[in-house]
Structure 1
Amino acid sequence: MTAVRGHAPLPRSLTRPPVELELIIPAFNEQRRLPSTVAATLRYLDGRPWSSAVVVVDNNSVDGTLDALDRFTGSPTGLDVGFHVIGCGDQGKGAAVRRGIATSSARFVGFADADNATPIDTLDRVVELLRAGHGAVIASRHAPGAHLEVEQSALRRGGGALFRTLAHLTLPDIADTQCGFKFFDGTLAREIAGDCRIDGFAFDVELLAHVVRAGRDVVEVPVDWTDMAGSTFSARRDGLRSMADLLRISLAR
């Protein structure tokens, strides 16, 4: 039975069979981008020398996200990779990722965005580092060796620079807290997820801050990253909230 620190253990019926690596994809209204990402991820994982599963966490989508996944759930994929779809009633990417982590029993667990902006074969290096004992391994667009295949707009780049400045108040040694491709030792992730409260886009910073406070390290892997159209992030709606959340995280030290 999987337990989260400070919370009652989850019933076994709510957890999934153990694998070495479980990849969570939080999804909110992703009927257009998600199917191709799931298909590419399943194909990649099928060729890897570790057991794995893909878990889509639907975050109250109101479009055809669930219908778009029927071809993966309604019939065998023919691949030796688990595929699961679960729901999350609490709104926000952070809540969806925590739901996926809490219900996982994998040795390593992490998440990737529905847009497939980070090359999925980055996992080769990620798993190698996790097996070596690192607490968290994250993709980075700003670490030495990274390359932006397609850059964000000037407005998004400016907002991102301000966000990084505030994030460095809590995590001064991490160049990129916001690339949506992060993986963790499974036991560690389940322990710290129960102590996280941020549901919005600053949830990555809170999660990584708990890794560091637990005495574990965070390793950044430089990637060739592509900005994909269709992001649900809104500078007007989410920007100020994210900045406020960063200050809350910093003050919680």
Structure 2
Amino acid sequence: MTSALIRPPVDLELIFPAFNEERRLPSTIEATVDHLSERSWASAIVVVDNDSADGTHDVVERFAHAPVPVYAIGCSDRGKGAAVRRGISTSSARYVGFADADCATPIETLDPVMALLAEGHAAVIASRRAPGASYEIEQSALRRCGGWVFRRLARMSLPDIADTQCGFKFFDGPLIREVVDGCQVDGFAFDVEILARFARHGHRVTEVPVAWCDVPGSTFSARRDGLRSMADLIRISIAR
């Protein structure tokens, strides 16, 4: 494991924002290293430790001799959005993206994503609602209701995007670094802010279908984070 804010340029950097993920992160990093090591792209993994109180940082140290470089950087500003921005802003990779530490989106999804980026697509995101997608999910009635309201509000900014919240998004590196420079949302609505700013810059966002499975252990709380996220969505929709 190497700790670095300045990293050698590669074709792809994959960012994992992580807050207290010592339980779920090891298998995710292992699967990602296995996949990337068999691909022709020069790749690196960046774990952004979002001020974790557990052994998240120690988990990364297990991969010191992995065939794909695994870096760890810190982010003292709380929130998934802050952690993702930290990873992107310190990257010099040709393509850069982020995925959730729970590996709910199969890492194999990266293959069609990278093919589209190589063809010139500016942003390619996994979608649980695109034609051909499938997902298994168990959610409370409160969370299902909150999700419906969230999607309605997100469509004010992104009417053509079916799924803004699947945690598997990849971008042209120089373009996304320019976009995140002006982003401010630290919470769970940060995906919408990034995609909305991307669209406002005139860049197309491409969705690819994904076979997605909910994994227990999410840090999202419908009660704690729901109202804040919806307030953020309203602010994003009026920011022109």
Interval containing the TM-score (normalised by the shorter chain)? over 0.9
Give the structure 1 partner of residue 197 of structure 2: 210
Cα distance in 1 for residues equivalent to 2:219 and 2:187: 11
- Secondary structure of the residue aligned to 1:139 is strand
Match of 1:174 among 148, 161, 172: 161
Query: Is the 8 Å Cα contact of residues 141 and 223 (structure 1) preserved in structure 2?
Result: yes
- Secondary structure of the residue aligned to 2:187 is coil
TM-score, length basis structure 1: 0.91
2:221 aligned with 1:234: yes
Give the structure 1 partner of residue 13 of structure 2: 22
Cα distance in 2 for residues equivalent to 1:88 and 1:105: 18
Give the structure 2 partner of residue 48 of structure 1: 39
Deviations 1:168-200 (A, max 9, x none): 000000000000000000000100111000000
Deviations 1:82-113 (A, max 9, x none): 21000011111000000000000000000000
Cα distance in 1 for residues equivalent to 2:20 and 2:216: 14
TM-score, length basis structure 2: 0.96
Q: Equivalent pairs: percent with the same residue?
A: 69
Query: Is the 8 Å Cα contact of residues 5 and 73 (structure 2) preserved in structure 1?
Result: no
Query: Is the 8 Å Cα contact of residues 60 and 70 (structure 2) preserved in structure 1?
Result: no
Cα distance in 1 for residues equivalent to 2:143 and 2:222: 8
Query: Is the 8 Å Cα contact of residues 151 and 226 (structure 1) preserved in structure 2?
Result: no
Match of 1:37 among 23, 28, 31: 28
User: Could you list the runs of 5+ residues in structure 2 that have no partner in the other structure?
Assistant: none
Cα distance in 1 for residues equivalent to 2:130 and 2:29: 27
- Give the letter for the 2:51 counterpart: N
Query: Is the 8 Å Cα contact of residues 93 and 199 (structure 1) preserved in structure 2?
Result: yes
Deviation at 1:124, TM superposition (A): 0.3
Deviation at 1:151, TM superposition (A): 4.1
- Give the letter for the 2:75 counterpart: C
Deviations 1:110-139 (A, max 9, x none): 000000000100000000000111110000
2:145 aligned with 1:154: no
Deviations 1:201-245 (A, max 9, x none): 000000001110111100001100000000000011100000000
Residues paired across the two proteins, number: 237
Task: Quote the RMSD (CA, aligned, Å).
Answer: 1.1
User: Could you list the runs of 5+ residues in structure 1 that have no partner in the other structure?
Assistant: 1-12
